[in-house]
Amino acid sequence: MSLFGPNEITCVDVGTGGIKAVCIKPGGRPRLTAATLVDFSPEGGPAQAASGLRTLLSGKKIGRKNVFTVMPSRAITIRPLSLPKMPLPELREAVRWEAKRHISYALEEAFVEYIITGERQEGAVDKYDLVLVAAEQSKIRDHLRPFEEAGMSVAVVDANALVLRNSLFLQNRTAPSEILAIDIGAGNMEINIFKDGTLRFSRCLETGGNDITRLVAEHLNISMEAAEAAKRDLRIVPASPDTTIATVTSRLDALLMEIRRSAEYYRTTCREKGVEYAVLSGGAVLMNGLPEYFSAALGLRVELWNPFEPLERNAAIDRELGAAAPRFSAAVGLALRNA
């Protein structure tokens, strides 16, 4: 019998670095009943997805039906919009036409959705604040193919930025009003800025932990697998005499430059005072000393985000996977999408 019962939600995040799956029972305080992780080889990536899902199924770690999953950030376009108030059928069509300005493929090939995040008056015009979400239909089919090959039925596909928002705010009522959420996985880095629980800025760069692993492999002349292990043993500190650490921090500094650029763009274009608090999620942020390194470089309070913290859970989950909790932010946020 599966660990995932009929009243529970199975949430699966397939990334470049591996599969993160959770089972959560909804309620006043949702309960995390199971969590599991399958790591991919740094050289294999998402091509290992179907076999990884079959491994989880064979071990009764996930269920086959009513599965929630999240699209890779690099395959999705997310933009905040503001449009005049109008009947909802007209609004849907207006959002589709607005999407043409933000996508590089034909509108006929796009899946377009939106979320109304608020209403306001601008002069004499009543407006909706929206978040536009668009993805190329072929990219969605590609993402779902490993699930089909594994014999799994996907009921919900969501966007990483939106599920991270669920994890950060819906079960964390004391969260600061503005949060810079930096999610660094194996294959990409996503920079999101939220204000009062609303996504105000989202940007994805196709660089992540595997690029750092590759630098370590080249520097030490070792395999990617050995470099991944070596990377985890490093302690990130400024101006280190260790040449391997210096190699890693040079790459981290490039990421930090993009984060600063994004925060400054948000501050100037949205006319905000700027963020003062940041959270880190994803597998690449688990290097020793990285939160402190980012905090010093950005001049912000920076913390690892533990999505397990607001959930009821068995102590065994913390013992087994607590150190890897930031990798599960998207999977947990999927389960909280209707909370």
Compare 4 and 277 and report the one with higher pLDDT. 277
Parent domain of 101: 75-136
> What is the pLDDT, as a whole number, of residue 92?
95
Higher pLDDT: 323 or 117? It is 323
Q: With respect to residue 110, please indicate whether it lies within any of the assigned structural domains.
A: yes
In this structure, is residue 90 part of a structural domain? Answer: yes
> Helix or strand or coil: residue 12?
strand
For the chain, percent of residues with pLDDT exceeding 90:
71
Which of residues 52 and 272 earns the better pLDDT score? 52
Q: Which pLDDT value is given to residue 202?
A: 92
Compare 224 and 197 and report the one with higher pLDDT.
224
pLDDT of the residue at 29: 84
The whole-angstrom separation of Cα 179 and Cα 277 is 6
Distance (Å) of CA 104 to CA 139, 159, 237: 13, 18, 40
120 falls within a domain: yes
Q: Is residue 185 part of a domain?
A: no
pLDDT, average across residues 142-170: 90
The structural domain count of the chain equals 1
The answer, yes or no, to whether residue 2 has pLDDT greater than 70, is no
At 27 the three-state DSSP class reads coil
**Among candidate residues 182, 164, 180, 329, the one with its CA nearest the CA of residue 252:** 182
Helix or strand run (H / E) with residue 281: strand 277-281
User: Closest Cα partner for 159 from 330, 336, 338, 332?
Assistant: 330
Quick one: pLDDT band at residue 74, thresholds 50, 70, 90?
confident
The confidence score (pLDDT) of residue 316 equals 93
What is the pairing mode between strands 31-39 and 301-304?
A: unpaired
pLDDT at 139: 94
In DSSP notation, 85-125 reads ---HHHHHHHHHHHHTTT-SS-GGGEEEEEEEEEEEEETTE
pTM (predicted TM-score):
0.90
Q: What is the mean pLDDT of the chain?
A: 90
Categorize the per-residue pLDDT at 171 as very low, low, confident or very high, splitting at 50, 70 and 90. Answer: low
pLDDT given for residue 172 in this prediction: 57
What is the reported pLDDT for 42?
75
In a domain, 131, yes or no: yes
CATH number where 79 lies: 3.30.1490.300
Q: How much is the pLDDT for 4?
A: 43
In the prediction, which pLDDT does 9 show?
A: 86
pLDDT band at residue 90 under the 50/70/90 scheme: very high
**59/141: higher pLDDT:** 141
Residue 129 forms part of a structural domain: yes
Is the residue at 95 inside a domain? Answer: yes
pLDDT for res 271: 79
pLDDT tens track for 298-336: 999 999 999 998 899 999 999 999 999 999 999 999 988
Q: Tens digit of pLDDT for each residue in 203-260?
A: 999 999 999 999 999 999 999 999 999 999 999 999 999 999 999 999 999 999 999 9
Tell whether the model's pLDDT for residue 27 goes beyond 90. Answer: no
Q: Is the pLDDT of residue 170 over 70?
A: no
Q: Let me know: does 264 contact 256? Beta carbons within 8 Å.
A: no
Residue at 92 is within a domain = yes
